Amino acid sequence: MPRWARRELRALLSIILLSIAAAVTYGILHDQITARICVEYFTIGHPPVFGTDDPTLLGFGWGVLATWWVGLILAILLALAARIGSRPKLGARQLVRPLAMMLLIVGAFATLAGFVGHAVAMHGWVVLLEPMASILPPERHVPFITDLWIHLASYGGAFIGGIVLCILAFHRRKRMAPSLVSPPLPR
């Protein structure tokens, strides 16, 4: 394999590993919080993959299992937006800050969604449907809905944020490219 191809492959893999690591880190931190809001969201609302009801273990396990593939999808799209074509290329280091900012925004959006989900569930404007409503004790319905809203907001926010991040990376490369238009000649 030519040297330039090895360099390009390393650059692509760096972006892919960065994106997966960022998604998994977000997922673990996210699920450490939501497992403590409603452990039943993981023990009853998900398949019994881990065989525990410990919120720390569930938060770690589901944080990895439910997010690595989201990170991989984002990684592939972001690597293409950052590297494909003849424009100047972005490396993983140049994407750390935008990726971190995107995840902070997604986290803020998820937090807001959790508060809204909690409020609408407390007022009875949103309720659990069957069969979950019968499986969970009534006092666990509001925390379950809160977790559900947080998780849905995180996935939705990451989807939108990932698309925006790819577009921003592509446009950043466009701004880095030298202009093809010649400056006007002096008169």
Q: What is the pLDDT of residues 160-173, one digit of tens each?
A: 999 999 999 999 98
Intervals of the chain under pLDDT 50: none
Tokens 């492959």 locate to 9
Amino acid 17: pLDDT: 96
The model's pTM is 0.89
Q: How far apart are CA 135 and CA 141, in angstroms?
A: 10
Q: What is the pLDDT of residues 136-152, one digit of tens each?
A: 999 999 999 999 999 99
Helix (H, G, I), strand (E, B) or coil at 132: helix
Amino acid 181: pLDDT: 53
Do 35 and 55 touch, CB atoms closer than 8 A? yes
Two tokens, residue 27? 């997922």
